[in-house]
Structure 1
Amino acid sequence: MRVTSIFPILIFSLALTLFSCKAKKQAESVPPPPPPPDWVSERPTSSMYYVGIGIAGKVSAGANYMQIAKENALNDLASEIKVNVSGNSILYTMENETGFKEDFLSTTKVSSSVNLEGFEQSGVYETPDSYYVFYKLSKAKYKEIRDARISTAISLSKQSRAEGRQQASNGNYSQAMQNYYQALSSLEEYINEPLKTEIDGQEQYYGNILLKEMQQLANELTISPVIQEYTITQGNVVPDDKTVFTIKDKTGKVQYGVQVVFSMGDEVLLKEKAISDHTGKVNSSVGKIKSTGRNILKAKLIADLDNKKHKVIGRVLDNIQWPSTAMIILVEAPRVKLIVDQKKNGAEVSSAEVFQAFSSAAISNSFMTTEKENEANLIAKIILTSKESGVYHDLYSVTFSGYLSFHDAKTNAEVFRESFDGLRGVDLNYDRAYNKGLEAFKKRLIYETIPRFRRKHLD
């Protein structure tokens, strides 16, 4: 019995010993990871190559850690390529423009990392936690590829320029400007370069030629307002047919399809951009102007209404002296004639206090009163009726009802109405109760009703 009980224990111990020896032998047979290459610990430098090293953590990057490391290496490689600014380049003429160079460098960096060609993978290193990629690009090869791209871009640009020159000779300046815009857009990545090429049998700096010719195109056009000045009462919408401009060339030929941008100080326009129609007309939409005074609506020609795709070229074209003009919109405070119908217990009473309260509210809310109906823009009418409504616990009560309305003086259309029903005065006799109720009415008129009218109709 004793031998039998010990035997299983001996078998288990022997198996455990054999397994441990096997595991130890397998562990001893796995070679240690290779040491990291020099480029992992110290960034290489070379006069012949641009280098880029990308790293991705396996945990943080997930299953795409290899791809992310490669993208990081490309971005690193692109950051080594310095942008030199030629003294005969478009960029050189724009360097004093705030933020322009930064916009260009940002655009170039993104484009370079996406469009890099000719690079080669020089090494890969991997640890249990990280993945490393090493790229390099021959500087000579990069220059060769870039020069070829510049040559292609100039060729495409020249085609657009040729079309633009033809359109201009036919008097179609809108299409000519679009062609020149496209000609510049083809060169967007290379405006730091001199872009030297043959024009009319001579070597010339092509970017500067384009800008010069585009300025000449702009100089051929004029824009003028159909109405020089328009007066409107505050609270009314400026009609769109009063903000019309005409675009012509210097021969008087109207221009179709020309793009225009509008502005008017801090006012937010309903339509800030437009394109001229077949009659050369173009208009803004101003809407309602909140404040009184003199407003200047400006109109300016531009080459492209939507330059988000070519932000850098949009900034370049801001330096063109585009034809512009302006019209004046005078906004006057409304003049209001007040009519009061006030009754106390069915009998007419003096409305002097109501007139005085209304005049005070008018001054506070930026409009004027007038006694002449032919001078008024608005007719205000106050109906106010009071009646004695009884005595309760020795307190006398007077109830007020009525309304205030505003009508357009020309059309008689009602533009505002508010009821005064429910106002009440309570005191020790009817006269004092009436006076208290009238004071409550005047306070509501001055501090609530008239400001509400201003916000709804004038603001």
Structure 2
Amino acid sequence: MKNTLYFFIPLFLMFGCTSSKKAGKDYLADAPGWVRQGPNTPGYYHGVGSATKALTQMGFREKARQNALSGLAGNISVKISSSSVLNQFEHDKTYSEYFRDNIKLSSDEYLEGYELVDSWENEEQYWVYYRLSKEKYEQVKAQRKSAAIAKSEGNFEEAMDFKSSGNAKESIRFNIKALEDVKDFLGDDLTIQQDGVEQAFGSILLSELTETIQNIRIVYPLGSLTMKRGRAPVANPMVVKVVNGSGRALSGIVIVTTFSWAPGKNIVSVSDSKGEVRVEIEKAGSKKNEGYIQSTVDLEKLIRESTSGPVIRKLLQNISVPGFVLPVSIQAPVFYVETQETNLGKKFTKQKLYPVIVNLLKADGIEITDNPETADFRLTVNAETQKGRKRDKMSFANLNSQIMVVNSAGQQLYNKNIDDISGMGKNFEDAGVDAYDALISKFRINIYPEIYGRLFK
């Protein structure tokens, strides 16, 4: 059984653009029957088109011709054979509908052999009538299909040769080219003789392509990874291998790597002659304890490079893409915090800035240690106040501070000097305390977000 869908061109397209009719007058009274009723000659596809003579952008004769050929093409059915590759490989019939909608019949290719039957015109309109022998159409289609299959078989043979030599990229590319060669006939029965046996050629093309793609393996050197937040792994970049199911190295395969903690960012790499890809692992800034690294074959890029046709690209978009997901355990960083806080040369009995810093770090899931040797980061603050001026019984104090963060290797990651903070009070000591309150506010709003962003984002 064959499922058949017929495209009918709406009447208003069949007859093109018409001008306003004059009241009480049949402006088609003198028109031939094929204008008034449409032709119905058995054994032919028909197309009638018209255009108003007022057209300026395109000549009315050409416009009428295009409308007629569009009508002719619309009367030719696009059939989906029950033995076609479309019926064998799709599950929801959506692609068959897409295929019908996108296989366009053109006068240059599909409508070869059409003939002009007649034309007619009046003061306002020009009409033209074309027809195409159904027998002639089937002959031309059979010739085109035979030529397409022959060309496709050549590209498929190249694909198989590349597959045998371990060149998966070129094998995929030529396999796609082979599909492109017969794209106009994917709804047909594409039976060929292979080793004396009838084979469904379309199914062979798609199944071989799917097998080659899904036989690609991405192999990481380890099954899981542990990282500290804000730090890349020691072994960086990580060497990842791209091989086939037999472990044979595959070169030229484009791999896209993404990180769960860096949405929107990806690394695109191409496997070298050894089948190796070097993946530069992004430092993990996530506050979550778990994440992942995912590498996938960039099949979409390979398809784009192999075909510009929407029909084949749509057909291949549902092929599952090989990939690998590496689980990552993200450990909380450890901070050692040290502050030197003096007011007018005297240490505070109870430090003001230190507990604020510690609470901010803990709120972000960061661990605090009393041993600087075990810390991933060391945050130090040196702050002191000095007497300023007196004015209207109020005293003013100026505050200077230096804030620094270094990692366990001694590398300086953040350094900031602050000398624009002042405070006021009834005396200089109260003014110094007020200045520290201003520093705390600045630390919460500006400095801590800067530090966190510098280390973890």
Q: How does 1:163-202 map to 2 (within 5 A)?
A: 163-202=158-197
The reply to whether residue 149 of structure 1 matches residue 147 of structure 2 is: no
Q: Is the deviation greater in 361-370 or in 178-187?
A: 361-370
In 1, distance between residues paired with 2:220 and 2:155? 32
Q: Secondary structure at the match of 1:159?
A: helix
Describe the shift of the 1:62–1:220 C-alpha distance in structure 2 as closer, same or farther (beyond 3 A).
closer
Q: Secondary structure at the match of 1:136?
A: strand
Q: 2:111 aligns with which of 88, 111, 117?
A: 117
Describe the shift of the 1:426–1:82 C-alpha distance in structure 2 as closer, same or farther (beyond 3 A).
farther
In 2, distance between residues paired with 1:193 and 1:40? 35
Q: 1:361 maps to what in 2?
A: 360
In 2, distance between residues paired with 1:104 and 1:396? 84
In 2, distance between residues paired with 1:114 and 1:371? 82
How much has 1:375 moved relative to structure 2?
3.3
TM-score scaled by structure 2? 0.79
Q: Secondary structure at the match of 1:268?
A: coil
Describe the shift of the 1:62–1:165 C-alpha distance in structure 2 as closer, same or farther (beyond 3 A).
closer
The reply to whether residue 229 of structure 1 matches residue 227 of structure 2 is: no
Q: 1:446 maps to what in 2?
A: 444
Q: Which has the larger Rg?
A: 1
How much has 1:302 moved relative to structure 2?
6.2
TM-score scaled by structure 1? 0.78
In 2, distance between residues paired with 1:37 and 1:113? 25
Describe the shift of the 1:160–1:63 C-alpha distance in structure 2 as closer, same or farther (beyond 3 A).
closer
How much has 1:171 moved relative to structure 2?
4.0
How much has 1:279 moved relative to structure 2?
0.8
- Matched to 2:91, the amino acid is N
| Contact kept? 1:270, 1:287, Cα under 8 Å | no
Q: 1:8 maps to what in 2?
A: none
In 2, distance between residues paired with 1:432 and 1:355? 19
In 1, distance between residues paired with 2:131 and 2:116? 7
- Matched to 1:196, the amino acid is T
How much has 1:49 moved relative to structure 2?
3.3
In 2, distance between residues paired with 1:114 and 1:285? 52
Q: Is the deviation greater in 44-53 or in 328-337?
A: 44-53
Q: Secondary structure at the match of 1:104?
A: helix
Q: Secondary structure at the match of 1:152?
A: helix
In 2, distance between residues paired with 1:312 and 1:176? 20
Task: Point out where structure 2 has 5 or more consecutive residues left out of the alignment.
Answer: 1-26
| Contact kept? 2:259, 2:282, Cα under 8 Å | no
Q: 1:336 maps to what in 2?
A: 335
Describe the shift of the 1:378–1:198 C-alpha distance in structure 2 as closer, same or farther (beyond 3 A).
same
Q: 1:458 maps to what in 2?
A: 456
Higher relative helix content:
1
| Contact kept? 1:292, 1:330, Cα under 8 Å | no
Q: 2:348 maps to what in 1?
A: 349
In 2, distance between residues paired with 1:40 and 1:237? 77
Instruction: Give a deviation string over 1:22-48, Cα, whole Å, max 9, x none.
Output: xxxxxxxxxx99945555555555653
- Matched to 1:295, the amino acid is G
How much has 1:326 moved relative to structure 2?
2.6
How much has 1:319 moved relative to structure 2?
5.1
Instruction: Give a deviation string over 1:309-349, Cα, whole Å, max 9, x none.
Output: 14443444455565433323344443322221222223333
In 2, distance between residues paired with 1:286 and 1:75? 56
Instruction: Give a deviation string over 1:103-153, Cα, whole Å, max 9, x none.
Output: 4334313x6477433233445555666655544333332222222222111
In 2, distance between residues paired with 1:339 and 1:263? 37
**Cα RMSD after superposing both structures:** 3.5
Instruction: Give a deviation string over 1:347-404, Cα, whole Å, max 9, x none.
Output: 3335632111112222444544333323333222222221221211112212222232
Count of paired positions: 425
Task: Point out where structure 1 has 5 or more consecutive residues left out of the alignment.
Answer: 1-31
Instruction: Give a deviation string over 1:205-224, Cα, whole Å, max 9, x none.
Output: 11112233334445655331
- Matched to 2:84, the amino acid is S
Q: 2:86 aligns with which of 85, 88, 91?
A: 91
- The sequence identity of aligned pairs, in percent, is 21
Q: Is the deviation greater in 123-132 or in 303-312?
A: 123-132
The reply to whether residue 247 of structure 1 matches residue 242 of structure 2 is: yes
Q: 1:326 maps to what in 2?
A: 325
Q: Is the deviation greater in 420-429 or in 35-44?
A: 35-44
